[in-house]
Amino acid sequence: MISFKTARNAAVAGILALGAMASIAAPAQAAEEDVALIKAYVGKWIGRGSAHFADQENPESIQCRMDVKDADRIRIHVDSRCSLASVVVKVGGTLAYNQSADQYEAIVNAGSFTGTAVGERRGQSLVFQLRDYTAENDAKFDVDASLALDDGAIALNLNLRNKDTGGVTTASVPFARR
């Protein structure tokens, strides 16, 4: 379910929601190589990007911080904070490799935003894709977001479509280690 009053709040929360994965259960015997792939991103990250709002001609700057920590043997924990104009959103969570399902998984939770993302491994890269096109009355936006862990960098991309107006807001934030 997504319940945001403005595209600005939804953009910041959506970026953080995907970048900060909420806790999931994973089996104790995860494949070492798969766990090593996500553990390689432990550290402090900083991101700067832009958002293009459907109702504005010029993009706005987004600044984010992400702290990725070892949670346990098979998980990493993420604490994130992004700011866009006067909006600041904080989100925390976890992502892991689920060996029994043979997939990377994340449950995304940021305030009223909740969704599930499954990661697809592409060589040494990992891409989580989240699509939420709910028809619920209080869901003002369709969400299409991705989080890519690729070659020692993190990239977040977000597309929001306002169900009332059809307007599309996009945001993109590349992260680098601090």
Q: Which domain holds residue 90?
A: 7-177
pTM of the model: 0.77
| Residue 47: CB atoms within 10 Å | 22
Q: What is the total count of domains within the chain?
A: 1
Cα dihedral value 61, 143, 96, 87, nearest 10: 30
Q: Give residue 59's pLDDT band: very low, low, confident or very high (50, 70, 90).
A: very high
What's the one-letter identity of residue 165? T
Tell me whether residue 32 is in a domain. yes
Tell me whether residue 77 is in a domain. yes
Tell me whether residue 17 is in a domain. yes
Q: Give one DSSP letter per residue of the chain, joined into a string.
A: ----SSHHHHHHHHHHHHHSEEP----TT--HHHHHHHHTT-EEEEEEEEEE-TT-SS-EEEEEEEEEEEEETTEEEEEEEEEETTEEEEEEEEEEEETTTTEEEEEEEETTEEEEEEEEEETTEEEEEEEE----TT--EEEEEEEEEETTEEEEEEEEEETTT--EEEEEEEEEE-
Tell me whether residue 153 is in a domain. yes
Q: Give residue 1's pLDDT band: very low, low, confident or very high (50, 70, 90).
A: very low
Q: Give residue 178's pLDDT band: very low, low, confident or very high (50, 70, 90).
A: very high
| Residue 46: CB atoms within 10 Å | 14
Look over the chain and give the mean of its residue pLDDT values, rounded to a whole number: 80
- Give the residue-averaged pLDDT of 42-68: 93
Rounded Cα distance, 22 and 94, in Å? 5
What pLDDT shows up at residue 111? Answer: 63
Rounded Cα distance, 66 and 147, in Å? 13
Tell me whether residue 13 is in a domain. yes
Tell me whether residue 2 is in a domain. no
- What CATH number has the domain bearing residue 113? 2.40.128.20
Tell me whether residue 1 is in a domain. no
